[in-house]
Amino acid sequence: GAVVSQHPSRVICKSGTSVKIECRSLDFQATTMFWYRQFPKKSLMLMATSNEGSKATYEQGVEKDKFLINHASLTLSTLTVTSAHPEDSSFYICSAPSDNSYNSPLHFGNGTRLTVT
Amino acid sequence: QKEVEQNSGPLSVPEGAIASLNCTYSDRVSQSFFWYRQYSGKSPELIMSIYSNGDKEDGRFTAQLNKASQYVSLLIRDSQPSDSATYLCAVPRGNAGNMLTFGGGTRLMVKP
């Protein structure tokens, strides 16, 4: 089955620093990847759609200059949280459809637990 | 009205019983529906997908879809303590087939 690898699984950083999270599709090519954020005991909220070779599409209320997304190849998308603050502490999860067909289900990476101190 | 609604639970069932999880959605044009299981501290994993009205069975899991009522459910037969998790219903947003909107999730507790 489709495998999505996410790294790191856990990161602790100081306020004001930047953190990069990588998301890779291991056995398939992903022209589109999705980045979600999940706060404790809440559901997944879509942050942005990462598009290979073009700009990401951000959801309303998500600051594109704060959450930088780069999708430079068909197997790698990165999310950089810039100038992180404690309120950015959350569980960040990337996902990708296993193929480009309509209705293809999403497969998720293992997530990144970000703690900003 | 939220796009995808689930009872947050917790839903508590004894081991061996049938657990019934429900989900309603607002977008009538939705064509595909997904159930994900999420253990605490982990990312969601796909359990079932269903695209047509009626029932779809996979092992102990049965997904039921009623597009007229905008309702999709997940039945878990012979529930096991290892089934204890949060179950998320997901529906594509509008015509964006792969962009999923998630319900709030139902926490299931299976007691030995």
Do B42 and A34 lie within an 8 Å CB cutoff?
no
- Distance, CA of A108 to CA of B4 (rounded, Å): 20
Q: Which amino acid is at A3?
A: V
* Residues in chain A within 8 Å Cβ distance of B45: 108
Question: What pLDDT is attached to residue B5?
Answer: 94
Q: What is the mean pLDDT of chain B?
A: 93
Query: Confidence class of residue A72 from pLDDT cuts 50, 70 and 90?
Result: confident
**Which residues are CB-contacts of B80 (< 8 A; sequence separation ≥ 6)?**
B15, B110
pLDDT at A4: 94
Alpha carbon dihedral A32, A49, A115, B42, in 10-degree steps, equals -50
Asked if residue B96 has pLDDT above 70, the reply is no
Q: According to the model, what pLDDT value does residue A98 have?
A: 81
What is the per-residue pLDDT across B18-72, written as a single tens digit (0 to 9) for each?
999 999 999 888 888 999 999 999 999 999 999 999 999 999 999 999 999 999 9
Instruction: Say yes or no: A102 contacts chain B, CB-CB below 8 A.
Output: yes
A-chain residues near B46 (CB < 8 A): 105-107
Pick the residue of A10, A44, A46 with the most B CBs within 10 A to test the interface with B by mutation: A44
Per-residue confidence band for A19, with pLDDT thresholds at 50, 70 and 90: very high
Contact A49 B99 (CB under 8 A): yes
Residue found by looking up tokens 């015509």 in the block: B95
Closest CB to B44: pick one of A42, A103, A108: A108
> If DSSP states are collapsed to H, E and C, what string results for B54-99?
EEEEECCEEEEEECCCCEEEEEECCCCHHHCEEEEEEEEECCEEEE
Which pLDDT does position B44 carry in this prediction?
Answer: 95
Average pLDDT, chain A: 93
pLDDT given at position A1: 66
Nearest CA to A74 among A54, A93, A88? A54
Question: What pLDDT score was predicted for residue B27?
Answer: 83
Judge contact between B89 and B49, C-beta under 8 A.
no
* Stretch 14-33 of chain B: residues touching chain A, C-beta under 8 Å: 31-32
